[in-house]
Structure 1
Amino acid sequence: MPRTARVKTDESIFHIMCKSISEVTLFKDDEDKKRYLLLIKKYKTLHNFKLYGYCLMDNHAHLMIDANGCDISKIMHGINFSYAMYFNRKYKREGHLFKDRFKSKIVYNDRYLRTLSLYVHNNPTDIIEYKDSPEKFTFSSLSIFLGKTTDSFNLVDYVFVMSLFGDNLKSARKNYYNLLFRCNEEKLEQEMEFEDEKTDYNSERNILIRDFKPDDILEFISFKMNISKIHFYTKYSRKCVKAKALAVVLMRSLCNFKSKDISNTLGNITQARISRLSTICIGLIGTEEKYRNIIDDFIKCYS
């Protein structure tokens, strides 16, 4: 039977569910879960989407993703394909890891988003150890929502969701915690199954329109790094590795460019080289303060 087309829009918030095939545990240890979160961080940098919450159980994962103008399939393919390659190398296996494609549901209104957030964070209550304290489960964003831990992976944009639970963060956290324990998982699942008519989801979100020009990106980086644009087209220039790396990621994120498009723009560089430059840029953004907000800085200059 042919696959049905996935319902999606680039402006949507999605409930993403990923599950391993029945005979394989998706996350065999904590290191696997950490690797998956690091991959989410990598592709969050590349595609500039927003993560509104997560919970990683042993055999499945729940993510709340605001596509923010990007294709959700592109996001999830990158994360899951990279994780499957890591998993198969680590455990010396071959073949598929994930059960079918990832599952996704579009969030259509505030009510659904509130319910979804509680549902995702309720998952650890199935484990006896966390039945009465799901906030202690390490691989869930609940403790970040409640202000009990810091976001060590710098992943979660929780403020938007929490604004639906109270007028200020303190009251929102109190309301959130109370609702979490007033709603058992069965009731939450029933609520999730109930869907209003599919209408536009009106919220205060600003969706990023990814139609920026590559020439503007090169001009911005040239000015930022005090170099000539000619260096982007020089094949062997160590001086420009950082500049090229930044250009690659900004084009992938803000122009919706594929490797072929980037290669045509910068002058016949290979897909493998583009992948290495992407990795270099993610490292720069994660470790060097002057590059940390470079995507946002560009958007402010050229929006």
Structure 2
Amino acid sequence: MPRKPRIHFPGAVYHVILRGNDGQDTFFDEADRSRFFFLLQGGTERFRHSIHAFCLMSNHIHLAVQVKEIPLSRIMQNLGFRYTQYFNRRYKKTGHLFQGRYKALLIDADNYLLELMRYIHLNPTRAGMVTRPESYPWSSHRAYLGREKLPWLTTDWILGQFANAERYQSFIEDGVKEGYRKEFHVGSFEGRALGDDRFIEEALFQAEEPARENLSLDALIESVCRAYGLSKAELASRSRVRQISEARAMAALFVRETEMLMMVDLGREIKQDVSSLSQAARRLEMRIESDSHLEKRFREIQSRISNPQLSSLTPSGSLVSRN
């Protein structure tokens, strides 16, 4: 059964859980966690999302993330990919570090974000690692108490719900005896969202989910071909010309980041090996990190996909300039 797409709209808040593959540890020392902090900060600067709370455990991570226009899938794929690169390089390992698809639950922030933040901050106490949450250095709780500064952490909304720091701390302490809360893991709607019927209806309306599901593989391939000035036959050829190879990698990257599309279907459509397409997508993502021209081309194709009117424009053969 195909997986359902995540509900995305600007302003959406998610509880994200990223677990180590087969339960393996993802952090071994302070340097590992500091590197993850660095990548979290870099992500907020690049993708303009907000992190309201976090907790880095030994073999999994909790985040409360609020997105803008860029969907959570791109944010998390970038974060997981870059940290895995660091981890494998440092420990001379290969392969996946994180367990399959990360868990992300859309949250009704008005009714659940405060309790979610408390639930995240109390992870170390529930696990018996510390007796008081402020004793654990790898969550956002200490920053909320003013004991450390994390410029990339968004604290204004949550702290604005309390008259002072003492009220905030009392709220956290009131939940110390609280156990596992299933609703923060499975939600109330198809395992995708936590909120009442009205919130779900509004979220689906804002996400325009039916329109998003209409994105077809053919439309994506056409957009990529137009951006590169190629025909579909050229994309499906055995040519290793750089422009054609890059176009294939770009198509694969979009498929990987579009939850209703599958790499196996792309491979069948353009007569390419699925493993090769996946590897090409990963290499291209690395190049996009440091190549502004490639990122502009990525944005151009993204714009064509989200604005069907652009499909009638003749590609200029060069990158689109944005003011």
TM-score in same-fold range (> 0.5): yes
Structure 1 CA distance, aligned partners of 2:51 and 2:42? 12
Equivalent residue, structure 2, for 1:32:
32
Equivalent residue, structure 2, for 1:137:
136
Equivalent residue, structure 1, for 2:79:
79
Equivalent residue, structure 2, for 1:106:
106
Alpha-carbon shift at residue 4 of structure 1 (Å): 3.0
Structure 2 CA distance, aligned partners of 1:140 and 1:277? 33
Equivalent residue, structure 2, for 1:237:
none
1:177 to 165, 169, 181: 169
The reply on whether 1:162 has 2:159 as its aligned counterpart is yes
- 2:9 partner amino acid: T
Is the CA contact (8 Å cut-off) linking 1:115 and 1:191 kept in structure 2? no
- 1:156 partner amino acid: L
Offset from partner CA, 1:50-95 (integer Å, 9 cap, x none): 1111110110111111102221111111101111111111111111
Secondary structure in 1 matching 2:181: helix
Secondary structure in 2 matching 1:174: helix
Equivalent residue, structure 2, for 1:241:
none
Alpha-carbon shift at residue 21 of structure 1 (Å): 1.2
1:51-66 pair list within 5 angstroms: 51-66=51-66
Is the CA contact (8 Å cut-off) linking 2:10 and 2:69 kept in structure 1? yes
Identity of aligned residues (%): 27
Structure 1 CA distance, aligned partners of 2:51 and 2:23? 29
Cα 1:196–1:5, aligned 2, differ >3 Å: closer, same or farther? Answer: closer
Is the CA contact (8 Å cut-off) linking 1:108 and 1:198 kept in structure 2? no
- 2:290 partner amino acid: R
The reply on whether 1:146 has 2:160 as its aligned counterpart is no
Secondary structure in 1 matching 2:34: helix
Structure 1 CA distance, aligned partners of 2:286 and 2:113? 39
Alignment size in residue pairs: 206
Is the CA contact (8 Å cut-off) linking 2:14 and 2:64 kept in structure 1? yes
Offset from partner CA, 1:84-136 (integer Å, 9 cap, x none): 111111111111111111111111142211110100100111354521x2112
Equivalent residue, structure 2, for 1:231:
none
Cα 1:273–1:68, aligned 2, differ >3 Å: closer, same or farther? Answer: closer
Equivalent residue, structure 2, for 1:47:
47
Equivalent residue, structure 1, for 2:223:
none
Offset from partner CA, 1:200-237 (integer Å, 9 cap, x none): 49xxxxxxxxxxxxxxxxxxxxxxxxxxxxxxxxxxxx
Q: Which runs of 5+ in 2 are unaligned?
A: 189-193, 201-252, 255-283, 293-323
1:1-303 pair list within 5 angstroms: 1-126=1-126, 128=128, 130-131=130-131, 133-151=132-150, 154-164=151-161, 166=162, 168=163, 170=164, 173-184=165-176, 186-187=178-179, 189=181, 192=184, 195-200=194-199, 274-276=288-290
Structure 2 CA distance, aligned partners of 1:72 and 1:185? 32
Alpha-carbon shift at residue 45 of structure 1 (Å): 0.9
Equivalent residue, structure 1, for 2:214:
none
Alpha-carbon shift at residue 162 of structure 1 (Å): 1.5
Secondary structure in 1 matching 2:198: coil
- 1:176 partner amino acid: Y
Structure 1 CA distance, aligned partners of 2:126 and 2:286? 43
- 1:139 partner amino acid: W
Structure 2 CA distance, aligned partners of 1:185 and 1:49? 32
Is the CA contact (8 Å cut-off) linking 1:119 and 1:185 kept in structure 2? no
Is the CA contact (8 Å cut-off) linking 1:122 and 1:185 kept in structure 2? no
Offset from partner CA, 1:137-186 (integer Å, 9 cap, x none): 111110111112222xx22110111212x2x4x2xx22221121221364
Is the CA contact (8 Å cut-off) linking 1:115 and 1:188 kept in structure 2? no
Cα 1:274–1:8, aligned 2, differ >3 Å: closer, same or farther? Answer: closer
Tell me the TM-score normalized by structure 2: 0.57
Cα 1:272–1:6, aligned 2, differ >3 Å: closer, same or farther? Answer: closer
Cα 1:119–1:272, aligned 2, differ >3 Å: closer, same or farther? Answer: closer
- 1:189 partner amino acid: R
Tell me the TM-score normalized by structure 1: 0.61
